[in-house]
Each structure stands twice: as structure tokens, then as C-alpha cells.
């Protein structure tokens, strides 16, 4: 998109006032280029690609299973991990690993996860994509303070951050040491993930390691002939930068970690120069000539990926999408490439029998430059194997929401302002001030519009995309979503159904630097 076309779209979609609010040389460059973030280079030599075997995060076993459900325990703690070969990196972890252990649950069965905080900082746990009661959702001021902390303090960052004018202590629902989150399981099979959601410090917490998979299974998915076992792979994609001593490099605004956010140069997002998959740099995997299910998660702070296989198999359509954020699609959708924004998930099936034995298949990032243009590789084996997996023509019965059922239409404008930084509807985040109050059991039409690039995430409820810029949904909008990718000067319409749980939830940009710099809003289901 050239600058003239962007400004023309901007005048119609955003209005002149919104464009003026983000004017200036650096903002203009970001608007024209369309992709967020600034590269933070590592200070040590980086390894060659495709040398490290792909690790798979361990599955967390319940400590107790009874009539009430399955009970899990996770200790958040500092750990020394090997990410770059031969280099130790201090990480904030769930259970001592990066990524954290994978929590596997069943639809219709409750899961209770008790977190214990042995880190040096407060945390908040959010299951991204979880259909969750408000008190377990991970509201950004529901702090879990470290073991041994004093009584919950009034958090100074909220008083000092522009647009975050401090709250009475009673509004900070902090507990010391341990907190149990209850997930009732009222949702279909899906690839979810959990991560830190502490107000003002989400970007730092995730960057330092606080992320992991949360998978939900159900009978409908079990009945399909999809790849299973070792051929069902969760792939957590991140990018990181490293200091000379091997530690994570991140441009915090305040090294004492009192003031939130990042330095001004990185307000539009932090990009690392090392691409990690499941915590390993540019890994490799030996694959059978068989079908594999790849659960792709973009857990990066700000980096966008356009994922494609190289070489493409004869006939193309290498990535057969079977699922989105909220679970299975009604029918598979074939792609040559997939664009995935921070927070989004795509479940795809790749048939490696379409490649000759001995082929090295690279997973590339067409949006990346230099080392960030490669993600991982698959080395196709010559050994004979059995493979009875396939992708059926119909995957699931997906309820389609009807726009005529919407009882309200709401607009949410994601903008940068000169005065307040990143805003929604002209306001930086104020905890406890809801921008919407949908009624429990109703459907609403929500319209999101952007200045620069914003992946928009809605808590509690999945939604269905019904249009982009007044036209049909895009090629990667199918199925139930909880995160939608807004490009510069774009407007997207979605239908949201509010079921089961009342309470205060959030919508926000999932560029974590935007989020930490106040691009969040509350909504309260009544």
C-alpha cells in the first residue's frame, strides 16, 4: 500500500482527526509500512539455523482427579534454561521450563489450576481463549504477589502512568503466595494458551518466559481421523533478543520495574532477532512421510508472521487449516501461506508424504528479514510408516451467529494519540471504567477500526468475523476467533455472543507493548 492510497483510506475509515493524532515522521513510516515493531538486536553470536532438535513442552499431570474435576499445580519461579546452545539464560517460568508445561483438559470437565508465585515480581494468569468466570479470567489487577510479600500494596505504577490514575486499594484484588483458577470447561476443543497478564508488565512477563499451552479436547474432535500422538504438535512461536551475558534483552522503561512499559523507541512493539519454536532457536524436526497436525501459536510480543513451507508441495495448498482460535472449523480451508498476528492460533495439517524422502522443508516467515525470515525445518524421513490420518470434508457443526440477532452495535477505535499514547475510543485504560455493558445471553455487533496495526483480543467470548472494510471476511478469518488482526486503516466487524458468565472482562490490543502502554478497555456483562 503506497502512502497516497493509505491516506485516502485513512480519510474514509478513520477520519482526518484520527490521522492527525498519529501524524509525524515516525508514525507516518509505521502507517505506510503496515507492520509494527522495532528490532532489538542481540549482543552475542547467534547459532546457525536447524541445528537444535524441536522440543515439545511436557504435559502437566493433575495432582488429583475427583468428582469435582482435575486439579493442577504450577509454581512460578526463576530458572536457568538453555535456549541458545551452550548459553544459560535466566527466565521467569511456569514450573521451571520455557515454555511452561502444557495443561490438557476435557470439555465439560472442570480444571482447577493452583499457581504459586516464587518469582520476584507480582503476576496475573490469563488463559487466552478460555471461556472463564470473571474471578478466574486474569483481570490485570488481580495480582498474585510473591510468597512472603507484605499486605497487598496500592500499585504505584497505576498512579504514575499517564491515563492510569491510580485506584483505591480495594479495587486491587491481590493475594499473597497462591491463587486457584477454576476453568469449568464450558467450551469446545481448542488450542488455548496461558500467559502473564499483569497490568503494565505483560510484555516483560511474556518476554521473560511466562507462557504455555492449554489444550481442550472433546468427543467431537476425538471422533475425527486427525493426526494424533507425536504427530499432533503444539508449536509456540516467539522472537527474543539476548544480551552479551545470555540474559533476555528487553527495553524496559524502568530497570527497577516500578514504572511500566518500554522506552519511547519501542512503543510500537519489540522485535527480537532470534526466532524460537517451543523455546528453541530455529529448530529442526525429523518427520515421517505422514500427516502432522501443527498447532501454530503466535506468542510473540509484536511480531507478525506470514508462514509458508519451502518448497511448496506439487499442487500447493500445503497448509490445510482445520481450526482457529476457538476450535475446529466447519470444513477445512487450504492455504499456501498463513498470516498470524500476536495471540492468534491456527491448527493446520501438513501431509509430508507429498514430499520425496530426504527433502528438507523449511517453515519460512515471509514477513521476516534476515534471520527472522526462517522459523524451523522439517526433514522428511525415508523410513516406511503407517498413516491412517486424513482431513475429512466436514470437521464440525459450527453455529453461525446471525447479524439480525444483534441487540446492539458498538464501535471500538484503536488509535495512538499525541497526548495519551495508545487508546481505545480516545481513552487510555482506566481500570473499573467499562466502555460497554452487554447483557448476559445476548449477541452484539462490535466494530473495530485501526490507525496502525493492532491485533484485537476479546476476553470471555469467542466471536465470528462478518466483514472487513464493508466486504467479506479475509482468508484467515474463518471459524470462532478471540483475536482478530487489524491492518492499518482497517475496519473489521464481528458478532460476539455473551453466555454463561457475568462480570468485568477486557478487550485490548495484543501487541503487548501497546497493551502495556494503556491500549486496553473493560466491558461488563450484566
pTM for this structure? Answer: 0.91
Q: Please determine, for residue 170, whether its predicted confidence score (pLDDT) is greater than 90.
A: no
276 lies in the same domain as 214 = no
* Paired strand residues for 41: none
Place of cell 541445528: 51
Cell of 385: 510408516
Q: What is the mean pLDDT of the chain?
A: 91
Lowest mean pLDDT among 84-88, 169-173, 178-182, 207-211: 169-173
Q: Nearest-CA neighbor of 214 among 128, 298, 110? A: 128
85 lies in the same domain as 135 = yes
Digit-coded pLDDT (tens) for 419-454: 888 999 999 999 999 999 999 999 999 999 999 999
Q: Please determine, for residue 21, whether its predicted confidence score (pLDDT) is greater than 60.
A: no
Q: How confident is the model at residue 171 (pLDDT cuts 50, 70, 90)?
A: low
69 lies in the same domain as 207 = yes
How many domains does the structure of the chain reveal?
3
Residue 250 lies in a domain: yes
313 lies in the same domain as 172 = no
Q: Please determine, for residue 2, whether its predicted confidence score (pLDDT) is greater than 60.
A: no
Domain that holds residue 313: 229-380
341 lies in the same domain as 437 = no
CA gap 80, 43 in Å, rounded: 19
Average of pLDDT values for 107-135?
A: 98
Residue 80 lies in a domain: yes
Place of cell 520495574: 257
Half-sphere exposure of 495 (CA within 13 A, CB side): 18
Residue 8 lies in a domain: no
Residue 189, H or E segment: none
Q: Which of 222, 249, 279 is the last residue of a domain?
A: 222
Residue 399 lies in a domain: no
264 lies in the same domain as 287 = yes
Q: How confident is the model at residue 153 (pLDDT cuts 50, 70, 90)?
A: low
Digit-coded pLDDT (tens) for 3-19: 232 223 333 223 333 33
Regarding beta strands 232-240 and 211-217, do their DSSP bridges make them parallel or antiparallel, or are they unpaired?
Answer: unpaired
Taking a C-beta distance cutoff of 8 angstroms, is the pair 309, 94 a contact?
A: no
72 lies in the same domain as 151 = yes
Q: How confident is the model at residue 29 (pLDDT cuts 50, 70, 90)?
A: very low
Residue 481 DSSP class: B
Say what the pLDDT of residue 368 is.
96
Say what the pLDDT of residue 525 is.
98
Q: Please determine, for residue 83, whether its predicted confidence score (pLDDT) is greater than 80.
A: yes
350 lies in the same domain as 256 = yes
Average of pLDDT values for 35-56?
A: 96
Say what the pLDDT of residue 159 is.
37
* Paired strand residues for 493: 447, 467
Digit-coded pLDDT (tens) for 245-278: 999 999 999 999 999 999 999 999 999 999 999 9
375 lies in the same domain as 314 = yes
CA gap 69, 61 in Å, rounded: 13
252 lies in the same domain as 369 = yes
Q: Which of 195, 222, 249 is the last residue of a domain?
A: 222
Residue 305 lies in a domain: yes
Residue 29 lies in a domain: no
Other Cβ atoms closer than 10 A to 234: 22
Q: Which of 222, 254, 288 is the last residue of a domain?
A: 222
Apex 116 CA angle, 507 and 295, nearest 5 = 50
Say what the pLDDT of residue 256 is.
93
Average of pLDDT values for 366-370?
A: 96
Taking a C-beta distance cutoff of 8 angstroms, is the pair 486, 510 a contact?
A: no
Place of cell 456483562: 525
Q: Nearest-CA neighbor of 195 among 327, 82, 76? A: 76
State the CATH number of the domain containing residue 368: 2.60.40.420
Percent of the chain with pLDDT over 90: 87
334 lies in the same domain as 249 = yes
Residue 485 lies in a domain: yes
179 lies in the same domain as 233 = no
Residue 128 lies in a domain: yes
Amino acid at each position: 500500500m503506497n502512502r497516497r492510497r493509505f491516506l485516502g483510506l485513512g480519510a474514509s475509515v478513520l477520519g482526518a482527526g484520527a490521522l492527525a493524532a498519529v501524524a509525524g515522521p515516525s508514525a507516518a513510516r509505521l502507517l505506510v509500512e503496515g507492520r509494527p515493531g522495532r528490532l532489538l538486536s542481540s549482543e552475542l553470536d547467534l547459532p546457525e539455523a536447524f541445528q537444535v532438535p524441536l522440543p515439545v513442552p511436557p504435559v502437566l499431570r493433575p495432582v488429583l482427579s475427583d468428582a469435582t474435576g482435575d486439579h493442577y499445580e504450577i509454581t512460578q519461579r526463576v530458572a536457568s534454561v538453555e535456549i541458545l546452545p551452550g548459553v544459560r539464560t535466566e527466565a521467569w517460568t511456569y514450573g521451571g521450563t520455557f515454555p511452561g508445561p502444557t495443561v490438557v483438559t476435557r470439555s465439560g470437565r472442570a480444571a482447577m489450576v493452583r499457581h504459586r508465585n516464587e518469582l520476584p515480581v507480582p503476576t496475573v494468569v490469563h488463559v487466552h481463549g478460555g471461556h472463564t468466570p470473571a474471578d478466574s479470567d486474569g483481570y490485570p489487577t488481580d495480582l498474585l504477589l510473591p510468597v512472603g510479600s507484605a499486605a497487598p500494596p496500592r500499585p504505584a505504577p497505576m498512579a504514575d502512568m499517564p491515563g492510569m490514575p491510580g485506584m483505591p486499594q480495594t479495587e486491587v484484588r491481590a493475594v499473597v503466595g497462591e491463587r486457584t483458577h477454576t476453568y469449568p470447561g464450558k467450551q469446545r476443543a481448542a488450542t488455548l494458551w496461558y500467559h502473564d497478564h499483569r497490568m503494565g508488565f505483560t510484555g516483560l512477563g511474556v518476554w521473560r518466559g511466562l507462557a504455555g499451552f492449554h489444550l481442550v479436547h472433546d468427543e467431537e474432535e476425538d471422533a475425527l481421523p486427525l493426526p494424533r500422538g507425536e504427530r499432533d504438535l503444539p508449536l509456540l512461536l516467539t522472537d527474543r533478543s539476548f544480551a552479551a551475558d545470555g540474559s533476555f534483552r528487553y527495553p524496559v522503561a524502568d530497570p527497577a520495574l516500578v514504572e511500566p512499559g518500554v522506552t519511547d523507541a519501542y512503543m510500537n512493539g519489540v522485535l527480537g532477532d532470534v526466532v524460537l519454536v517451543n523455546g528453541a532457536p530455529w529448530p529442526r524436526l525429523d518427520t515421517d512421510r505422514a500427516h502432522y497436525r501443527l498447532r501454530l501459536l503466535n506468542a510473540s510480543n509484536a511480531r507478525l508472521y506470514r508462514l509458508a513451507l519451502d518448497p511448496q508441495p506439487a499442487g500447493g495448498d500445503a497448509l490445510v487449516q482445520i481450526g482457529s482460535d476457538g476450535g475446529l472449523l466447519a470444513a477445512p480451508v487450504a492455504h499456501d501461506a498463513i498470516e498470524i498476528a500476536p495471540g492468534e492460533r491456527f491448527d493446520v495439517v501438513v501431509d509430508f508424504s507429498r514430499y520425496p524422502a530426504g527433502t528438507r522443508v523449511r517453515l519460512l516467515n515471509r514477513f521476516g528479514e534476515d534471520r527472522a525470515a526462517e522459523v524451523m525445518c522439517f526433514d522428511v524421513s525415508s523410513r516406511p510408516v503407517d498413516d491412517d490420518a486424513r482431513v475429512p470434508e466436514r470437521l464440525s457443526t459450527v453455529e453461525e451467529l446471525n447479524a439480525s440477532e444483534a441487540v446492539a452495535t458498538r464501535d471500538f477505535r484503536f488509535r495512538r494519540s499525541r497526548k495519551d499514547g495508545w487508546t481505545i475510543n480516545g481513552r487510555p485504560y482506566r481500570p473499573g471504567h467499562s466502555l460497554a455493558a452487554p447483557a448476559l445471553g445476548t449477541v452484539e455487533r462490535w466494530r473495530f477500526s485501526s490507525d496502525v496495526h493492532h491485533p484485537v483480543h476479546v476476553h470471555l467470548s469467542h466471536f465470528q468475523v462478518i466483514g472487513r472494510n464493508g466486504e467479506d471476511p479475509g482468508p484467515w478469518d474463518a471459524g470462532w476467533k478471540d483475536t482478530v488482526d487489524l491492518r492499518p486503516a482497517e475496519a473489521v466487524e464481528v458478532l460476539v455472543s455473551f453466555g454463561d458468565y457475568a462480570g468485568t472482562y477486557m478487550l485490548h490490543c495484543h501487541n503487548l507493548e501497546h497493551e502495556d502502554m494503556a491500549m486496553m478497555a473493560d466491558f461488563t456483562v450484566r
